Structure 1
Amino acid sequence: MEVGETKCSSGYSKPPWIFRGSALYQLHLVKAETARACIPKEFRLVEAFGYTLGGFFLASYDDSPAGIFDELVVIAGLVWNPPTSCAWAAKVLVNSNVACDHGRKEVGLPSQVARFSKRTTAITSPPKNKDIGFLNMVGMGAAFCSPRDHMNVQVTEIKIPDTKDICNINLTSVVPTLDYNKWKGPAIKMSLPSYSGRTEYNPNLLKYSCQIECRKC
């Protein structure tokens, strides 16, 4: 993650900051009128037929400058940054006070502390696939024939004196007992440019970029 020169929060050195863990990035169409209510008026929304592209980013970090923590980022939509566009986060929830403080002051994010509750239930019957023989030949069969887990993630925003349930996310994932010698697919690298700021903790308008390297598991 790259930002301008800043005085960093406790536990964070100067950028770039490196976060390692697992994540789900889900894109959704968002009504333009809904997105505009979350985005500063000086920005022009990237929209078509009354919709923009938003979504959410759910991550579980096992190594970061703030240690182990979970994060949910709700993306309101895309705004123009010619010749391309930038994402705008309407809400950021983390279960780490250090990460929350850093997000607010250094990255200009609307970070709040939240409670992440996770419940995992095993799914015993694997899905059937007639073409599984070919997938096994190329080393991809494990992702289709291994037993799977069903995970429910509940995120509750903590506000004094009240708490508020934000969302429930249901995931189906492979049980982590795979043959790690199998090929998991190529590494994918992407850059996610974003705007932030205009908050009570950081009134400046900031632009930063998340450089993501991921691999399907």
Structure 2
Amino acid sequence: MGVVEATKSSSGYAKPPWMFTGSALYQLHLVKAETARALIPKEFRLVEAFGYTLGGFFLAHYDDSPAGIFDELVVIAGIVWNPPTSCAWAARVLVNSHEACFHGRKSHFYVYLQYIGLPSQVAGFSKRTIAISERSRNKENSFLHKIGFGTAFHNPKDRIDVQVAEIKDSSTTTDFCCISLPTAVLNSRSDSTWMGPIVKMSLPSYSGHTEYNPHLLKYSCQIKCRVRAVTPAKVSGPTTTPLDKHGEELLAHQSFYSVGSEFGELTENDARNRSISVLLSKPVLALEFNFLKMQVEPPIVVAHCSKNIVED
């Protein structure tokens, strides 16, 4: 399933900030506010308009990181207020590296600040090409090339399927989603080697409030990369999940809430279904990040189980 072997320690993460290089697809979706709110701690106020917020996903391949080479899928539930700006909230993080998973979620009595407090889980990433025509490969440092496929395809209808499955233990896997990546970008074929302008950005994010880290944390990612718009990827959920055409769960006879939960109001199954709904919501923009250099700053504690950390 493409899972990196577990390591005995997280020594690669010993000294922040942590550096990652690779490539990624950052896709924004219109997510129903009611879906996003259930995945976001009630301490935060959701940024929304007309019943929707901006969520989506971040699909990355890192060719160098403190945990080595690995793939990552971050499900972004929505945007929350962080006056005077805003922050993204990650509802689920799937990685095919045990070390990256441990660092992403773990909390420790003395060194919890060295962990990001993300809802990380180990997953398998399998990739295959849906071939329609003969194709030639180029040597560009593009996202599709970095995950093992070239981008100079003759037929723009060719696609690459990335199947993601959660791994609960060595013998149990559960399908999560399939992301179908287009091989043709929005640019014309004559401009297929254009990788976009160099962009520098800072992406602030909240994390924590999980089973592994009860603190509410804030950290930032300093990113430098080349960015270009691409055709949005198509996402499908597991065939066993009852979903309607809009990606909303048909769970009329189920409760979304787990009474008495210390770390959240959703059961694990409900949180998983809501995360899939985010992925299946309507895409509005897809950006390919190439020559990605990402510096992750150590998190700071915003609050410890506070009920009023964000003012209206």
**Which bin holds the TM-score, normalised by the shorter protein?**
0.7 to 0.9
Say if 1:10 and 1:98, in contact at 8 Å, map to a contact too. no
Aligned counterparts of 1:154 and 1:171: Cα–Cα separation in 2? 11
Q: How does 1:34-73 map to 2 (within 5 A)?
A: 34-73=35-74
Aligned counterparts of 1:32 and 1:81: Cα–Cα separation in 2? 17
- Residue 188 of structure 2 corresponds to residue 190 of structure 1: no
Where structure 2 has 5 or more consecutive residues not aligned to the other structure, the ranges are: 1-8, 107-114, 136-150, 185-192, 229-289, 291-312
Say if 2:153 and 2:183, in contact at 8 Å, map to a contact too. no
Q: Aligned AA for 1:46? A: V
Aligned counterparts of 2:17 and 2:173: Cα–Cα separation in 1? 33
- Residue 80 of structure 2 corresponds to residue 79 of structure 1: yes
After superposition, what is the alpha-carbon deviation per residue over 1:133-180, rounded to whole angstroms, capped at 9, x for unaligned?
xxxxxxxxxxx9863652100000111464221110011236xxxxxx
> Which stretch shifts more, 72-81 or 187-196?
187-196
Aligned counterparts of 1:60 and 1:24: Cα–Cα separation in 2? 9
- Residue 90 of structure 2 corresponds to residue 89 of structure 1: yes
Q: How does 1:196-207 map to 2 (within 5 A)?
A: 196-207=207-218
Where structure 1 has 5 or more consecutive residues not aligned to the other structure, the ranges are: 1-7, 127-143, 175-181
Say if 2:134 and 2:153, in contact at 8 Å, map to a contact too. no
After superposition, what is the alpha-carbon deviation per residue over 1:59-82, rounded to whole angstroms, capped at 9, x for unaligned?
011111100000000000011011
Partner of 2:104: 103
Aligned counterparts of 2:173 and 2:195: Cα–Cα separation in 1? 40
Relative contact order higher in (CA < 8 Å, ≥ 6 apart): 2
After superposition, what is the alpha-carbon deviation per residue over 1:78-98, rounded to whole angstroms, capped at 9, x for unaligned?
110111100000000000000
Q: Aligned AA for 1:150? A: R
How far 1:191 sits from its partner (Å)? 1.4
- Residue 158 of structure 2 corresponds to residue 157 of structure 1: no
Q: Aligned AA for 1:9? A: S
Say if 2:104 and 2:117, in contact at 8 Å, map to a contact too. yes
Structure 1 vs Structure 2: percent identity of aligned residues? 75
2:47 counterpart SS class:
coil
Aligned counterparts of 1:9 and 1:45: Cα–Cα separation in 2? 34
Aligned counterparts of 1:184 and 1:152: Cα–Cα separation in 2? 22
Q: How does 1:5-44 map to 2 (within 5 A)?
A: 9-44=10-45
Partner of 1:170: 180
2:183 counterpart SS class:
strand
Assess, with a 3 A threshold, how the Cα gap between structure 1 residues 209 and 38 changes in structure 2: closer, same or farther: same
How far 1:122 sits from its partner (Å)? 4.2
Q: Aligned AA for 1:158? A: I
Aligned counterparts of 1:104 and 1:72: Cα–Cα separation in 2? 14
Greater strand share, structure number: 1
Number of aligned residue pairs: give it.
Answer: 189
Aligned counterparts of 1:87 and 1:38: Cα–Cα separation in 2? 12
2:18 counterpart SS class:
coil
1:102 counterpart SS class:
helix
Q: Aligned AA for 1:171? A: L
Runs of 4+ in 1 over 6 A off after TM superposition: none
Q: TM-score, normalised by structure 2?
A: 0.56
How far 1:123 sits from its partner (Å)? 4.7
Aligned counterparts of 1:72 and 1:194: Cα–Cα separation in 2? 16
1:11 counterpart SS class:
helix
Aligned counterparts of 2:98 and 2:152: Cα–Cα separation in 1? 40
Aligned counterparts of 2:19 and 2:126: Cα–Cα separation in 1? 25
- Residue 121 of structure 2 corresponds to residue 120 of structure 1: no
Assess, with a 3 A threshold, how the Cα gap between structure 1 residues 11 and 80 changes in structure 2: closer, same or farther: same
Say if 2:32 and 2:52, in contact at 8 Å, map to a contact too. yes
Aligned counterparts of 1:152 and 1:213: Cα–Cα separation in 2? 27
1:35 counterpart SS class:
helix
Q: Aligned AA for 2:209? A: R
